[in-house]
A and B are shown apart, each in its own frame.
Chain A
């Protein structure tokens, strides 16, 4: 008679447990996720945290310096050229950057994943057509096209999100195509086909769960990409319009005082850098944690 030691069974960690363990040991994942979570929290709670109304002007209080440059705690990060509280604008600005990042990634993710999975799963003519669309998209200069289209429609948060969403799907398509190709001949996909499952069902229940980790990595990459591009467009005056506190716009408004009050561009610039850095760390972390064999 064989005796099964129950301890032996429970001590072997399941893949999910292994993943959780890798996640808790991965510094980039923890720091990136933590900082991003903090920024999201600050953005959501901006109405409660912000010491002042981000739009309230006070021309007698212009260009006050931050507290670490000899300013007062009344305006911890100083004030801008219209006397608006810089900390409050920074907090509300996080809402704009995050909205741009999430919504753009959602739109471009849906477009790119649909194209990529279709190309990878069906192959043949579908693949040829999708590859052609990707090639055409890649050959168009993103910044130039985005600027031109925003100029035609008039700059606003909605325009910027839509334009970027319809431009930044290429990486989703490329990566989802390759990932789908890699698993479409796996046994579990073949057996689902043999069982007579519908294509929709196979894609949703067999393909998607297995390419989800790559999808998350691309989502983080493209979120970061969209946030940087929005800031650049707003900086050039063809993105989010004043008086909204977009970080790119804050840098543009501070540019005139570049030589006298560099904190006006340093603060929103560092905010942008930290946000992008955190998102990238999280993305790299997700890749390492979910597929440690892909690390190089």
Chain B
């Protein structure tokens, strides 16, 4: 038996692989279930052909729509056809534009992705430093300020916060455009709103994690050794406290992408969220189904990546 770095690394890789396979299997199963749910949402309220035909439709109109969109096939057959299409990126055609759903989405998704990434960056830049300082100096002025920000953030409805920011910074100050998505300035207010929404959770977790880590024996040892306090803080403490924060940030990013629908609607930001809102109002079911599935898949993928990253950083998770 060989002990040492090489043996340790092989063991680590095997454990990681096993963990990876298990998590991948779970993610695939979740994705499949979500696809079933997003498909059946359409049939939840009864016959989609009736809903599409509108209130003035005759029995013949409904029958025509039923055959045109393939609703006359058994539902399991429709699901399998939809799912196999989805695997190749084919979600059918939009009822409203009569163009492929995937084209509509791929036009709009980059905007939402940019908004989501900008939002989570804003949240991390605000929440992590505040959380760390709040943990180093509990009950200080900054700790109270951090608490205030997080309490206010949790009670502030995002759509109302957006309107208030528009009144102050777009109308009264004239610093940023009111709405639209032409330039990077259009992203400033939506980023702040979306990022602020994720701030309280990340800040609380950073603070709690740092408080716990700072009490740990290895920090006391590092300090007792006479290490530079800044080095102890950033290299030893923050690195360990960051593990759960990375996971939460990934989850929050998933929530933010799914929740961008409200913010994009208010700021008329031309992303996938606005597309979802418009499609819901147009009864454009294929687009809505595809977007629900897509946002869910992004979330599944993000949590998968976060879990893998955590397992790589924290050996205790791999074994479980």
Judge whether B292 and A144 touch: CB under 8 Å: yes
Judge whether B157 and A272 touch: CB under 8 Å: yes
Judge whether A255 and B41 touch: CB under 8 Å: no
Q: Would you give the shortest CB distance from A70 to chain B, in whole angstroms? A: 19
Beta-carbon nearest neighbor of A151 in chain B: B280
Judge whether B159 and A149 touch: CB under 8 Å: no
Judge whether A143 and B45 touch: CB under 8 Å: no
With an 8 A cutoff between CB atoms, is A48 at the interface?
A: no
Residues of B within 8 A of A262 (CB): 167
The B255-296 residues at the A interface (CB cut-off 8 A) are 255, 257-259, 261-262, 265, 276-277, 280-281, 283, 288, 291-292, 295-296
Q: List 26 A-B contacts (CB under 8 A).
A: A132-B30, A135-B30, A136-B33, A140-B34, A141-B299, A143-B261, A145-B41, A148-B280, A149-B45, A151-B280, A152-B42, A152-B44, A153-B45, A231-B157, A235-B262, A255-B163, A258-B171, A259-B167, A265-B164, A269-B163, A269-B164, A276-B154, A276-B155, A276-B157, A277-B151, A277-B155
Judge whether B155 and A224 touch: CB under 8 Å: yes
Beta-carbon nearest neighbor of A251 in chain B: B160
Q: Would you give the shortest CB distance from B301 to chain A, in whole angstroms? A: 10
Residues of A within 8 A of B166 (CB): 258
Classify chain B's interface size. 35 or more
Q: How far is the CA of A265 from the CA of B171 in the complex (A)?
A: 15
Residues of A within 8 A of B51 (CB): 152
Beta-carbon nearest neighbor of A228 in chain B: B157
With an 8 A cutoff between CB atoms, is B213 at the interface?
A: no
Judge whether A152 and B296 touch: CB under 8 Å: no
User: Could you give, for residues 34-49 of chain B, a 1 whenever the CB lies within 8 Å of some chain A CB and a 0 otherwise?
Assistant: 1001100110110000
With an 8 A cutoff between CB atoms, is A280 at the interface?
A: yes
Judge whether B30 and A136 touch: CB under 8 Å: yes
Interface of A is mostly: helix
Q: How far is the CA of A296 from the CA of B254 in the complex (A)?
A: 27
Residues of A within 8 A of B37 (CB): 136, 140
Judge whether B154 and A141 touch: CB under 8 Å: no
Judge whether B265 and A236 touch: CB under 8 Å: yes
User: Could you give, for residues 138-162 of chain A, a 1 whenever the CB lies within 8 Å of some chain B CB and a 0 otherwise?
Assistant: 1111111101110111000000000
Question: With A141-B292, A145-B292, A265-B163 as given contacts, are A273 and B156 in contact (CB-CB < 8 Å)?
Answer: yes
With an 8 A cutoff between CB atoms, is A232 at the interface?
A: yes
Contact partner of A273 (CB less than 8 A), chosen from B33, B34, B155, B276, is B155
Contact partner of A144 (CB less than 8 A), chosen from B164, B167, B208, B295, is B295
With an 8 A cutoff between CB atoms, is B158 at the interface?
A: yes
Residues of B within 8 A of A269 (CB): 157, 160, 163-164
Q: How far is the CA of A236 from the CA of B291 in the complex (A)?
A: 18
Q: Which of B155, B158, B166 gathers the greatest number of chain A CB atoms within 10 Å?
A: B155
Q: How far is the CA of A141 from the CA of B253 in the complex (A)?
A: 12
With an 8 A cutoff between CB atoms, is A175 at the interface?
A: no
Q: How far is the CA of A259 from the CA of B178 in the complex (A)?
A: 11
Q: How far is the CA of A91 from the CA of B265 in the complex (A)?
A: 28
Beta-carbon nearest neighbor of B204 in chain A: A296
Q: How far is the CA of A272 from the CA of B292 in the complex (A)?
A: 28
Residues of B within 8 A of A141 (CB): 255, 257-259, 261, 292, 295-296, 299
Judge whether A139 and B30 touch: CB under 8 Å: yes
Q: How far is the CA of A155 from the CA of B154 in the complex (A)?
A: 26
Judge whether B41 and A148 touch: CB under 8 Å: yes
With an 8 A cutoff between CB atoms, is A238 at the interface?
A: yes
Judge whether B262 and A232 touch: CB under 8 Å: yes
Judge whether A136 and B155 touch: CB under 8 Å: no
Judge whether A143 and B259 touch: CB under 8 Å: yes
Beta-carbon nearest neighbor of A269 in chain B: B160
With an 8 A cutoff between CB atoms, is B193 at the interface?
A: no
Beta-carbon nearest neighbor of B48 in chain A: A152
Additional pairs, 20, CB under 8 Å, beyond known A231-B157, A251-B163: A136-B37, A138-B299, A139-B34, A139-B296, A140-B38, A141-B299, A144-B295, A147-B280, A148-B292, A149-B44, A152-B44, A224-B154, A235-B159, A236-B159, A236-B262, A237-B281, A238-B280, A269-B157, A269-B160, A280-B154
Q: Which of B166, B280, B295, B300 gathers the greatest number of chain A CB atoms within 10 Å?
A: B280
Beta-carbon nearest neighbor of A236 in chain B: B265
With an 8 A cutoff between CB atoms, is B211 at the interface?
A: yes
Question: With A135-B26, A139-B34 as given contacts, are A232 and B296 in contact (CB-CB < 8 Å)?
Answer: no
Q: How far is the CA of A200 from the CA of B155 in the complex (A)?
A: 38
With an 8 A cutoff between CB atoms, is B29 at the interface?
A: yes
Q: Would you give the shortest CB distance from A183 to chain B, in whole angstroms? A: 21
